[in-house]
Structure 1
């Protein structure tokens, strides 16, 4: 709650050193706006040198919660070089009129072009987003646009959340509140669609060899899975916690993958992934 406050770069890098982790997760209310609240010391665009500095210290640097309006080419390049080509984009919706009601930037066509551009740079890039369903004024056409976008974008992961009015907010007194029953119906339709997309993308990985970071005995993650919010890769329990290993995917169980056999394991020292 409250305004975003950017930490000093040095304090972040000291914490990275103290954690001695294999993967660091950078997260904020609006991560790409890091530094804008301290223009004299940090300034706009400071997230890029921060990502590069962290990436120089650890094998994996993962960024969570990016607004698409601040996703510059320079930031995309930094993410693709971070060891984790994973883009967590807070899109919220795709209908241009509805996004303006929400006081948000962008539209579905712009988002699709940006996603396609990233995929052209790295075909293995993974994507997550989140969407609000039932914000006041959402029409059937708005909902249909969101369904079409989810189908075409084919993101790895999506979260859908029903709008919930909060006293003191801009939206609480807006007209055309969406009935709860209709919100439930819309969100169920979206989740069913995304579940099928996620399952298909996971099936596509069967027989592929991927590199995982072992978080605990029997549980690993490739760059495609953020800790605690996405699926996992089930790996042989013999793999050391904190190690990297290349494993072959042999099955998919919903959002989770099953892997066997490991080659090229590296960094077998026992430690947690240390995601922060």
Structure 2
């Protein structure tokens, strides 16, 4: 059975977050009868903060553990690093999916403050290193905005350096797009579109090489995969629909778990022994 994606904290981009009731989430998990549940929200780690009397800050940890008790795999998407506590890290490592999707956005401290965001590259690197020390098999994804108003060459160089040093498995890079009614629309020092194109191309070229090297490292390893459809599966390294896939033998039943040996890498995708690599 294909993994299901369900929203935990309903929110418009400009409105307050609204956390769903725990009982309704667990009921939906039971109804889905999926092998992997993906928890996602605009700011997943903030789950419960809007309901301090019933839930409160840190409620995501208990929720992850309750969901993990019901299904083999629980995957979390879109976590702000400011709320990535030790307790949440341990819950993720115990969930069957040591996959960390961190919404970093940028790494230059002054530029992050322009974006009204927390953190800086050094803090992020320390947290990533800490997680890797706990679980060498941990997989990382992040996303970054390129060309937000005021982004300087030094800001961009810091981001390039971070991407190279962090060596994340997956990264998404998005050009800043002005929207009516947003804080950023009226900011000075708008970045020319042509320069945004150049910067994002440079970042994507670097990350593509890193991702390819990461995938090559998995060749000859045996991975436990969940078969999403005939010939297509994923290990904990791949989130559905946004990361690469693993090609597996067509004989493996959909919805089943299997241990497969990786024999090749084709860009972001992997090929398991016995698979039709041309499928």
CA distance in 1 between counterparts of 2:87 and 2:274 reads 37
Q: CA deviation digits over 1:7-57, x for unaligned, max 9?
A: 110100000000000000000000000000111111100000000000000
Question: CA contact under 8 A between 1:248 and 1:261: conserved in structure 2?
Answer: no
Which residue of 88, 99, 102 corresponds with 1:75? 88
- TM-score (norm. length: structure 1): 0.94
State whether structure 2 residue 130 is matched by structure 1 residue 117: yes
Consecutive unaligned residues of structure 1, counting only runs of 5 or more, are: 263-276
Structure 2: distance between partners of 1:103 and 1:7: 26
Structure 1 runs, 4 residues or longer, greater than 3 Å off: none
| Cα root mean square deviation, aligned | 0.8
Tell me the alpha carbon deviations over residues 138-168 of structure 1, each in whole angstroms, 9 at most, x when there is no partner. Answer: 0000000000000000000000000000111
Question: What is residue 3 of structure 2 aligned with on the other side?
Answer: none
Q: 1:136 aligns with which of 138, 149, 162?
A: 149
User: Greater relative contact order: 1 or 2 (C-alpha under 8 angstroms, separation 6 or more)?
Assistant: 1
2:230 to 217, 223, 229: 217
Equivalent in 97, 102, 108 of residue 115 of structure 2:
102
Aligned residues: 262
Partner of 1:236: 249
- The correspondence for 2:164, drawn from 130, 147, 151, is 151
Secondary structure of 2:57's counterpart equals coil
SS at match of 2:273: strand
Is the partner of 1:250 in helix, strand or coil?
strand
* Alignment match, 1:46: 59
Partner residue, 1:87: 100
Alignment of 1:177-256 (within 5 A): 177-256=190-269
Q: Secondary structure at the match of 1:240?
A: coil
Taking the aligned partners of 1:4 and 1:129, their CA distance within structure 2 comes to 22
Structure 2 distance, partners of 1:197, 1:40, is 45
Structure 2 gap ranges (5+): 1-11
TM-score normalized with structure 2 length: 0.93
Q: Which residue of 1 aligns with 2:21?
A: 8
